[in-house]
């Protein structure tokens, strides 16, 4: 029964608290039991605060008993990626360069909103060093592995958050995504993640990756992602890019379906190459939208691969974050060797090259803006491949070096700032999850979530659970 409660989504937990079927304390104990039992296998957590979590759960239970809950996060067991600040906890960012830093004296905006809403913070999730790549390992931590097969990667850089959510170590998490970092691990672990419109969720401190970086909800259901986005979308004065609060809840219209929507499908954006099992699963998912009444059209290539411009924008940020936490001679050798290599190859650019990359980005945004005057949504695979061996930067025998070479469908939408949702749409023959990506125009987060909900209303992929999550021991 403990595993069943741990794997309940946030909406089910809140309904149970309201009816008195169980309490936040019981839900928190169940999540902590999952951490104790399963984290030694997947390494999703870098900090667990059982005492603090149980104290918060007890306070939440008292509010529910008094009929005075703070809202749909009250008592929900929650984890936070170890890039975001949580008051009283250290922020290690996956790096030995941050090991000496004191605990944070304030919360990041999304964390603050969740704390105000009564969420129960269980602990912090593993990240690669400074969240720089699409897998989750670093010189400081052993690899974070996959809930469906601990020999495989969970993806990254929010791999710890995805693995935790996928195994019931909390109902949901907040990750960050500057090139695919919530969507990559969602695809690899069979979970749900949204990279919202840039500015929709305020961020502080500002990311070294600039306006590529977005905080994002990581959940097991689209409905929970909508609720979590509601909770963390309030503007914050510390982020001058943050948008005004939405005019209505993202749950409004969530079940309105996709009938008559104009939906484009691009299997490869014109430059990717998919594993045949991934392509088959995504094409089957596209048919679900057509059967639900959408007007679906497979489209020709929309743009050329912007990876060179992305590298020019990305790696100077990586160089800057290493410089920020530099403490003295010898620190360079303590940094992830692949990160050092990336900084050496791409991280030192002149202003002209940076402006050229910015121009590519602006043109990409213009192209996608024009595209969405014809199509309401775009469907793609989240990833061209399923999860590969843990501890590697790229799949064995891949022949290319950088993580961007195996995640071509995610980083373009960090460059444009559009909302992009990943949700499960199938499995390979050997049981590895496959993800579908739904992309919408800027500010259409609600429409993207609505389409994701329509897909889950007609399929059951999101209900599948890793066997290890449900084994009572």
- Give 10-residue mean pLDDT values along the chain (473 residues): 93 98 98 98 98 98 98 98 98 96 98 98 98 97 97 98 98 98 98 98 96 98 98 96 96 98 98 98 98 98 96 96 87 93 95 98 98 98 98 97 97 98 98 98 98 98 96 63
The answer as to whether 310 is a domain residue is no
The answer as to whether 344 is a domain residue is no
Judge whether 373 and 133 are in contact, CB under 8 Å.
no
Q: Is 262 helix (H, G, I), strand (E, B) or coil?
A: strand
> What is the spatial distance between Cα 264 and Cα 266, in angstroms, rounded to a whole number?
7
- pLDDT given at position 330: 84
pTM recorded for the entire structure: 0.98
255: left (phi over 0), alpha (psi -120 to 50) or beta: alpha
Task: Write down the H helix ranges in 245-330.
Answer: 276-291, 307-324
Give, in degrees to the nearest 5, the angle at Cα 270 between 267 and 271: 105
- pLDDT given at position 1: 61
Is 3 catalytic? The answer is no
Give backbone dihedrals phi and psi of 94, rounded to 5 degrees, phi first: 70, 15
Report the number of distinct structural domains present in the chain.
Answer: 1
Residue-number span of the structural domain to which 297 is assigned? 2-304+362-470
- Identify the sign of the CA torsion 286, 287, 289, 290: positive
Judge whether 180 and 128 are in contact, CB under 8 Å.
no
The answer as to whether 347 is a domain residue is no
- pLDDT given at position 384: 98
Catalytic residue among 2, 60, 81, 266: 81
Catalytic residue among 140, 181, 242, 422: 181
- What are the structure tokens assigned to 183, written together? 């969507």
- pLDDT given at position 186: 99
Is 173 catalytic? The answer is no
Helix (H) or strand (E) holding 387: none
Give the domain CATH number at 70.
3.90.1300.10
> What is the spatial distance between Cα 265 and Cα 462, in angstroms, rounded to a whole number?
21
- pLDDT given at position 277: 98
The answer as to whether 203 is a domain residue is yes
The radius of gyration of the chain's CA atoms, rounded to the nearest angstrom, is 21
Q: Is 180 helix (H, G, I), strand (E, B) or coil?
A: coil
Is 181 catalytic? The answer is yes
The answer as to whether 408 is a domain residue is yes
Pairing of strands 214-219, 77-81: unpaired
The answer as to whether 336 is a domain residue is no
- Strand-pairing partners, residue 80, are 124, 174
Q: Could you write out the DSSP letters of every residue in 198-245?
A: TTSS--SSPPTTGGG-EEEEEESSHHHHHHHHHHH-S--TT-TTPPPP
The answer as to whether 291 is a domain residue is yes
Task: Classify residue 186 by its DSSP letter.
Answer: H
In total, the chain counts a number of residues equal to 473
- Strand-pairing partners, residue 309, are none
**Closest by alpha carbon to 256, among 454, 34, 421, 459?**
454
Task: Classify residue 273 by its DSSP letter.
Answer: -
**Closest by alpha carbon to 43, among 134, 202, 152?**
152
Strand ranges for 178-242 from DSSP E: 192-195, 214-219
> What is the spatial distance between Cα 257 and Cα 451, in angstroms, rounded to a whole number?
7
Catalytic residue among 3, 60, 138, 157: 157
> What is the spatial distance between Cα 346 and Cα 354, in angstroms, rounded to a whole number?
11
The answer as to whether 332 is a domain residue is no
């Amino acid at each position: 029964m403990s595993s069943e409660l741990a794997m309940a989504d946030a909406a089910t937990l809140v309904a149970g608290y309201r009816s008195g079927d169980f309490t936040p304390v019981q839900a928190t104990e169940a999540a902590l039991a999952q951490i104790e039992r399963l984290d030694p296998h997947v390494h999703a957590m870098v900090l667990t605060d059982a005492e603090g979590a149980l104290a918060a759960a007890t306070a939440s239970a008292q509010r529910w008993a008094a009929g005075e809950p703070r809202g749909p996060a009250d008592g929900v067991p929650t984890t936070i990626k170890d890039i975001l600040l949580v008051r009283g906890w250290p922020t290690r960012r996956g790096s030995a360069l941050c090991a000496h830093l004191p605990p944070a004296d304030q919360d990041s905006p999304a964390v603050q909103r969740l704390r105000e809403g009564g969420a129960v913070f269980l602990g912090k999730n593993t990240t690669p060093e400074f969240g720089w790549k699409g897998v989750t390992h670093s010189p400081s931590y052993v690899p974070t592995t996959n809930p469906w097969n601990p020999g495989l990667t969970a993806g990254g850089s929010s791999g710890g958050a995805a693995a935790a959510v996928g195994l019931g170590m909390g109902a949901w998490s907040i990750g960050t995504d500057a090139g695919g970092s919530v969507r990559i691990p969602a695809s690899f672990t069979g979970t749900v993640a949204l990279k919202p419109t840039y500015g929709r969720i305020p961020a502080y401190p500002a990311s070294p990756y600039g306006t590529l970086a977005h905080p994002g909800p990581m959940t097991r259901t689209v409905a929970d992602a909508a609720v979590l986005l509601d909770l963390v979308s309030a503007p914050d004065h510390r982020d001058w890019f943050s948008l005004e609060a939405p005019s209505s809840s993202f749950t409004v219209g969530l079940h309105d379906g996709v009938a008559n929507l104009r939906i484009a499908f691009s299997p490869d954006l014109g430059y990717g190459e998919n594993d045949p099992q991934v392509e088959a699963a995504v094409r089957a998912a596209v048919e679900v939208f057509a059967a639900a009444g959408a007007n679906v059209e497979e489209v020709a290539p929309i743009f050329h691969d912007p990876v060179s411009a992305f590298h020019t924008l990305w790696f100077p940020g990586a160089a800057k974050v290493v410089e920020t936490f530099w403490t003295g001679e010898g620190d360079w050798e303590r940094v992830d060797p692949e990160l050092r290599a990336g900084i050496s190859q791409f991280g030192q650019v002149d202003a002209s090259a940076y402006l050229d990359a910015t121009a590519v980005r602006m043109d990409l945004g213009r192209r996608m803006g024009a595209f969405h005057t014809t199509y309401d949504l775009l469907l793609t695979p989240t990833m061209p491949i399923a999860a590969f061996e843990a501890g590697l930067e790229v799949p064995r025998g891949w022949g290319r070096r950088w993580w961007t070479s195996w995640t071509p469908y995610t980083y373009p939408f960090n460059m444009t700032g559009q909302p992009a949702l990943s949700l499960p749409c199938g499995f390979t023959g050997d049981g590895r999850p496959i993800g579908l990506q739904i992309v919408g125009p800027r500010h259409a987060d609600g429409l993207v979530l609505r389409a994701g909900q329509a897909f889950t209303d007609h399929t059951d992929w999101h209900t599948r659970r890793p066997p290890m999550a449900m084994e009572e021991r």
